[in-house]
Structures are given as structure tokens and as C-alpha cells.
Amino acid sequence: MNMMTVAPDRVHEQVQSLRAPALQAAVDAGAACADLRNAPLREEWFREESEPEADWSFRARLLGDFCREMCPVMAECRELALRQGEGRSWQDDMVRGGLTGQQLVEERAREAERLAAAVAEDQRATVEWEVYMRAALRQLKEASVVIQAGAALEKARKESNARATEAAAELRAIRRQRRARAGWGEAA
Ligand code: SF4
């Protein structure tokens, strides 16, 4: 494994200003624990039911070190975990973003005000996005109605032209017959 050190406070402020979908996209793209080469670690981010406290503490420390030393998106992962309410105060059974569940709970309490504002902002951004998408869909529907109306108009115009051509041909035929009956020549 290539060891690389991620500055702990690397972009914390920058990361905190991101909306949840951007945080999630960063984690999806860069999570060190999702890398197949780290496969043995993938199943081990939660404490097993019967795992003794001492074993879990040891493992949790290793997992936290892994996040801090190997993961380029630790700040994003931690911010998401904090906003999503990960961790339980009564039981330490997971590691995310370099912190155990209980550490996440403590961190959330320390940053309660900022996180509440960030979650509210995420919700507002989601609502705005939905409104935007609904408007865009409406616009697309309108455009499609106009296109369909245009196509129907064009079809009606062609049918009408065809009927006019047929009527003109019938008229010419009737005229020819009348002239023939009257004994006039074709050009008369
Ligand atoms: S910080 Fe840890 S838990 Fe989060 S994505 Fe990175 S390796 Fe996985």
C-alpha cells in the first residue's frame, strides 16, 4: 500500500461549504475503503455482534488510522457522516471518516449549530433542485407539444393540398366531359 498523508484539516472549511450531493459524489469517487485492492477491509467497518470490546477498540483504531492515512476524501466522508447522523452514543460499533460512532456523536454535539445550518441548506438545495427539474420537465413537455402541433399542422397542410389537387383534377375531368358533350375540342 502506498502510504500518503492527508492533512487532517485539509480543506475542512471548503468541505463544510459543500452541499450533500457534492460530498457524496466525492466519497463515491475517492473512498479508499471502496477500492477493491483494500477488499479485506471492506467488510470490517462495523463491529460484529459478538466482537469483544478490546478487539473492536483495537480494530477501530486501525480503521481510523487507515482513514486518516489512506483516504483522500476523509474530510468529505466525515462531514457526510456528521450531517447524516451516523454513530450512536450508547454503543461504539462503526468507523466512518476516521472517527468511531461515539466520536462522531461527540463531534456532532460540538458542531451542532453549524451542522443544523448545513443540513437545512442541503434540504433547501434539494427542494430548489426539484423545483428546477420540474420546471425543466415542464419546458420540455411544452416544447414537445409545440413540435407535435407543428407536425400535425404540416400533416394537415399536406392532406389539404392533396385534397385540393384531387378536387382540381375532378373539375378538369368534369369540364372535359362537358366540352365533349357540347362538341367542343379539348382546347376550346
Ligand atoms: S474516510 Fe474511511 S470510511 Fe470514509 S471513505 Fe475514506 S476510508 Fe472509507
Q: Is the pLDDT of residue 15 over 90?
A: yes
pLDDT greater than 60 at residue 145: yes
- Helix, strand, coil % over all residues of the chain, rounded to 5: 70, 5, 25
Looking at the structure, tell me whether residues 139 and 95 fall in a common domain. Answer: no
Residue 61, pLDDT > 70, answer: yes
Q: How far apart are CA 115 and CA 82, in angstroms?
A: 7
According to DSSP, the residues that pair with 95 across neighbouring strands are 100
Domain boundary among 60, 80, 110: 110
Average pLDDT, the chain: 87
Q: List C-alpha distances in Å: 41 to 34, 77, 78, 179.
A: 9, 16, 18, 99
The answer to whether residues 23 and 106 belong to one domain is yes
Check pLDDT > 60 for residue 144: yes
* Residue 18 falls inside a structural domain: yes
Structural domain total, the chain: 2
pLDDT for the residue 137:
85
pLDDT, average across residues 19-47: 85
Is residue 122, in this structure, part of any structural domain at all? no
Asked if residue 141 and residue 105 are part of one domain, the reply reads no
Looking at 78, 110, 142, the residue that finishes a domain is 110
pLDDT of res. 37:
73
| CA of 121 relative to ligand 1 center, distance in Å | 24
Do 99 and 21 share a structural domain?
yes
The residues that bridge with 100 in the sheet, in sequence order, are 95
* 76 shares its domain with 144: no
Ligand 1, pocket-test mutation among 5, 15, 42, 77, most atoms within 8 A of CB: 77
Q: How far apart are CA 104 and CA 91, in angstroms?
A: 12
Does the C-beta of 32 come closer than 6 Å to ligand 1?
Answer: yes
Percent of the chain whose predicted confidence (pLDDT) is above 90: 53
Residue 176, pLDDT > 90, answer: no
Q: Is the dihedral of CA 38, 84, 80, 86 positive or negative?
A: negative
Task: Determine the structural domain holding residue 147 and report its residue range.
Answer: 129-188
158 shares a domain with 103 = no
How many angstroms does the Cα of residue 184 sit away from the middle of ligand 1?
99
More confident residue, 26 or 131: 26
150 burial (CB, 10 Å; 0-12 / 13-18 / 19+) is exposed
Is 73 within 8 Å of 26 (Cβ atoms)?
A: yes
> How far away, in angstroms, is 160 Cα from ligand 1 center?
68
